[in-house]
Structure 1
Amino acid sequence: MNASMEKDLIALVHEGVIAENGWQALTDALRQAVGAAHANLTFRRTDAPMSDLTSYVSGGPTEDMSRFYFGGFHRTDPLPYYRLMPGRSYGLADIFAPDDKSAQDQLRLLLQPFGEPHLLILRITEPGGANAWLTVIRDTPEFSRTERELIEALGRHLGIALQAYVRLNDTQARLAAYTSAMGRLNVGIVTLTADGRIIDADHVVSRLLIQGEIMGRDPHGRLTLADGTAARALGAALRDFTRDRTGRSRAVRLSEGKRADMLLLPVAERPVTGPFTPVLRAYVHIDHETAGDSLESLMEMFRLTRSEAKLAFALCEGHTLAESAERLGVTLQTARTYSKRIFQKTGTRRQAELVRTLLTSTLSLV
């Protein structure tokens, strides 16, 4: 083991946070560096069953071991994973007392493919409660003090990497949830530079750019708007927000034919690095027809009949009671009866209150 090899392993620890194949390259390189038959880095949520693991495995009869382990051995695994002191490497002699033959014999059932194996395991934690274990196994010889120090050095870097990985995953999970909610509301986001160049656009805006009906992208990557008035308002906002990061937001109507609008906001924060400086962030809203799922959800939320739910949606779209009755193919008197039931079940008294109740409920996310 030389210093250059250790540096390469440390680099792979940190690359694993963003690498497409995670820490697979680390376990492959570590196994070769210490002459091990097997190496793995395993992650487990504290409340997850032992069968729900994420592992990066290198070498060894992994399929046979996995079948044996999850075929029942995991229920009686003698290794005290959560009692291991984080950052310290453990061999079998460090874990089990010399006279604890039962646990050692039990573990040998798992490790028997490796002959008379020597195992080294290290637990990694991070402040949020995440846990990981780095394990290497080989036949002979026993792991040296230098190799233990290497594993422990990697453990310190894995602790840092695990903290970054957990934060990144938490952020991605929240972003996915927000993106899903915004998509259900038919709201998209696009970020622009001072000259209107698109830095990023979510799937809602990307779809509109491809359709090209109300907005598009010019050959230089700049956002274009089909409506002349909206385009001029966007240009003015870009100029103002370039000068003043705290400028007031502006609402812009994108189309007379479709109910489409855009809220323009200055980007107050500036990234530390990157090819472009964001100046303006636009929230784009396109109205859409009520989906069948929304009807079912409305019925369930307020215990409405299907006919009552259809009338409620018609009223929310701005139609009068007479217009709504005609759309539903019922008499005005029947519509009046339905509306009384709707107001009673939703706790509203007027059409305006009904609209406000439905638009501010979670039905808008369906």
Structure 2
Amino acid sequence: MAILSADHRELFLPLIEGIHESPPWGAFMRNLVARMVARRAFMVITLANAAPDQAPMVIHTAAPRAAREDPIDFRRLDALRLHPYGALRPGRIYALDEMLDYDDRAQLALQRAALADMGIRYGRWLRVSVGGAADAWLVLVREREDFSGSAVAVLDAVAVHLAAALRTLAALIDQRLQTAMATNALARLGVGQLAFDRDGRVMAADAVAEAALTLVPEAGARAGRRLHLRPDAARALESACADPLALPQVIRVDETRGIDLLLRRADLALGDPSARPAVIGVLRDTVREPARQAIGVLAARHGLSVNEAALAHALSLGETLTQAGARLHLTAETARNYSKRIYAKTGAHGQADLVRMVLTGLAPLA
């Protein structure tokens, strides 16, 4: 069957663009249902490293004439013990008759009755698999007549493209996980970051930076954003971005709130092709980790009692031994005895060294 230009426009391109939709491939599914003249459809996507109790992603679609009908109950369909989904050969299209259990007449009757109740008389199943990283099952159904040969040919042409799109989606999900972990760790430390090009435009900003600073659209028709700064701070930023070899440098970006921005030369390891920033801007809020979690980490890491860990954490907040002891309802003598045990267990050489150990250890990431 010849692939039409409409297929590229309505099916293959939406597969590429739909990777970034949430959930993915909504436009592709709508167009595929229309192209195959299906009544309803769904796609189930599972990831190999998903938790056992994590529900799969399910994308439901219906033709306009079936818009008011309930989506296909894929769990009820699965409970019918049709041909096991995991045993479907990837890339092969299965008709409904191939999914039924003809070896068990009672089960066959139950399957047919349930399918009729769900308005399913004809269907096509397609499984795509990506090297054990992800699987997708695509199901399209009709009620009055079977799918035509040309419709099945369209689905066959789609299969290889869907597999490639699923492979890209699995890789993107992995990258999103890595980004989320890094962003979450920095946010726990109160760290925000921005990437600047050589003209001082903001190429990217994380959530902490977006919340702490004011970014405005670039003037004129040029794309991008800039930090809303005093004229002297804006000139200093643009000068640093134009000559990053002179960095690091610190500029005050908000006098009222006392926010400083550390500018350092960008040294990110980026693959090609990529738009490489010239400068990375780093700010830091005074946020501290939840005390209870941090105390638990200190106790586990250094073999401290809960009270000893609480005192160590209080000292890292800048409190004196007397202040920390009083807040924790310890007498001055008890606080001193605790501090001696803390130094012995952690190997810290005094209070300043203890604070250094706390702030550079795992507790701030708790």
What TM-score results when the alignment is normalised by the length of structure 1? 0.77
- Indicate how the Cα distance of structure 1 residues 209 and 259 shifts in structure 2: closer, same or farther if over 3 A, else same: closer
What is residue 205 of structure 2 aligned with on the other side?
201
Quick one: distance in 2 between partners of 1:78 and 1:232? 68
What is residue 4 of structure 2 aligned with on the other side?
3
Describe how 1:143-182 pairs up with structure 2 within 5 A.
143-182=147-186
Quick one: distance in 2 between partners of 1:172 and 1:320? 42
Preserved CA contact (<8 Å) 1:78 1:103:
no
Quick one: distance in 2 between partners of 1:332 and 1:115? 78
What SS does the corresponding residue of 1:142 show, helix, strand or coil?
A: coil
- Give the drift of 1:187: 0.8
Quick one: distance in 1 between partners of 2:260 and 2:139? 56
- 2:248 corresponds to 1:250: yes
- Give the drift of 1:235: 5.0
- Give the drift of 1:92: 3.1
What is residue 240 of structure 1 aligned with on the other side?
243
- Indicate how the Cα distance of structure 1 residues 82 and 248 shifts in structure 2: closer, same or farther if over 3 A, else same: farther
Quick one: distance in 1 between partners of 2:134 and 2:18? 16
Describe how 1:25-104 pairs up with structure 2 within 5 A.
25-46=27-48, 52-59=55-62, 63=70, 65-66=72-73, 70=75, 74-95=78-99, 99=103, 101-104=105-108
Preserved CA contact (<8 Å) 2:46 2:57:
yes
Q: Deviations over 1:76-115 (max 9, x none)?
A: 5222111111111011344457555455434323321466
Quick one: distance in 1 between partners of 2:25 and 2:278? 37
**Greater CA deviation, 248-257 or 277-286?**
248-257
What SS does the corresponding residue of 2:151 show, helix, strand or coil?
A: helix
- Indicate how the Cα distance of structure 1 residues 123 and 279 shifts in structure 2: closer, same or farther if over 3 A, else same: same
Describe how 1:1-366 pairs up with structure 2 within 5 A.
3-7=4-8, 8-20=10-22, 22-46=24-48, 52-59=55-62, 63=70, 65-66=72-73, 70=75, 74-95=78-99, 99=103, 101-113=105-117, 117-210=121-214, 220=219, 221-223=225-227, 234-235=237-238, 237-241=240-244, 247=245, 250=248, 252=250, 254=252, 262-266=262-266, 269=270, 272=273, 278-288=277-287, 291-293=290-292, 296-297=295-296, 300-301=299-300, 302-306=303-307, 308-309=308-309, 311-316=311-316, 321=321, 333-366=333-366
RMSD (Å), alpha carbons: 3.9
Preserved CA contact (<8 Å) 1:263 1:284:
no
Preserved CA contact (<8 Å) 1:42 1:56:
yes
Preserved CA contact (<8 Å) 2:83 2:98:
no
What is residue 222 of structure 2 aligned with on the other side?
none
Quick one: distance in 2 between partners of 1:62 and 1:49? 31
Question: Aligned pair count?
Answer: 349
Preserved CA contact (<8 Å) 2:72 2:118:
no
What SS does the corresponding residue of 1:17 show, helix, strand or coil?
A: helix
Quick one: distance in 2 between partners of 1:189 and 1:111? 55
Q: Deviations over 1:47-86 (max 9, x none)?
A: 66698232222236864752xx646x64452221111111
Aligned letter for 2:60?
Answer: V
Quick one: distance in 2 between partners of 1:224 and 1:330? 48
Preserved CA contact (<8 Å) 2:298 2:363:
no
- Indicate how the Cα distance of structure 1 residues 294 and 38 shifts in structure 2: closer, same or farther if over 3 A, else same: closer
- Give the drift of 1:133: 1.0
- Indicate how the Cα distance of structure 1 residues 260 and 87 shifts in structure 2: closer, same or farther if over 3 A, else same: same
Preserved CA contact (<8 Å) 1:41 1:134:
yes
Aligned letter for 2:58?
Answer: S
- Indicate how the Cα distance of structure 1 residues 263 and 317 shifts in structure 2: closer, same or farther if over 3 A, else same: farther
Preserved CA contact (<8 Å) 1:30 1:39:
no
What is residue 213 of structure 1 aligned with on the other side?
none
What TM-score results when the alignment is normalised by the length of structure 2? 0.77
**Greater CA deviation, 141-150 or 327-336?**
327-336
- Indicate how the Cα distance of structure 1 residues 249 and 100 shifts in structure 2: closer, same or farther if over 3 A, else same: farther
Q: Deviations over 1:233-273 (max 9, x none)?
A: 755542333xxxxx586253759996956251225658747
- Give the drift of 1:32: 2.5
Percent identity between the aligned chains? 29
